[in-house]
Amino acid sequence: EAGVAQSPRYKIIEKRQSVAFWCNPISGHATLYWYQQILGQGPKLLIQFQNNGVVDDSQLPKDRFSAERLKGVDSTLKIQPAKLEDSAVYLCASSPVRRQSSYEQYFGPGTRLTVT
């Protein structure tokens, strides 16, 4: 089974520039998550989709970050304009929807963003 795919793997931009990340979840997984992981910290959820609807975006800095999952499959996360503190690894994860309340999330390899 193919895992979660993300691109690009690395990106270096200057502050105030824009950047976009792409994620393709595991086939059949209805739920997709974007996390931000700053060096030395655990991942922090930015946004969660179920199919093409937003379940939780309470920690997404909406003045500069946006995300979409138009067809309920792949997703893009955009930052516009970037700040130095956005330097981090952006992880995409997916999970199936099951009856039990919790289930494993499968992570992609991440995009390492450096803002200079």
Contact of 104 with 97, CB cutoff 8 Å: no
Stretch that binds other proteins, among 14-22, 67-75, 79-87, 103-111 (CB under 8 A): 103-111
Stretch that binds other proteins, among 16-24, 61-69, 71-79, 94-102 (CB under 8 A): 94-102
31 lies in the binding site for other proteins (CB under 8 A):
yes
Between 6 and 79, name the residue whose CB sits nearer to other proteins: 6
Among 42, 62, 71, 99, binds other proteins (CB under 8 A): 42
Spatial distance between the Cα atoms of 98 and 22, rounded to a whole number of angstroms: 25
78: Cβ contacts below 8 Å, ≥ 6 apart: 18, 19, 20, 21, 65, 66, 67
* Smallest gap from residue 33 Cβ to other proteins (A): 8
Among 19, 95, 113, 115, binds other proteins (CB under 8 A): 95
Residue with tokens 């992880």: 91
**Given strand 19-24, what is the order of strands in its sheet?**
5-7, 19-24, 75-79, 65-68
- Contact positions toward other proteins, by CB under 8 A? 31, 40-45, 48, 55-56, 91, 95, 101-105, 107-110
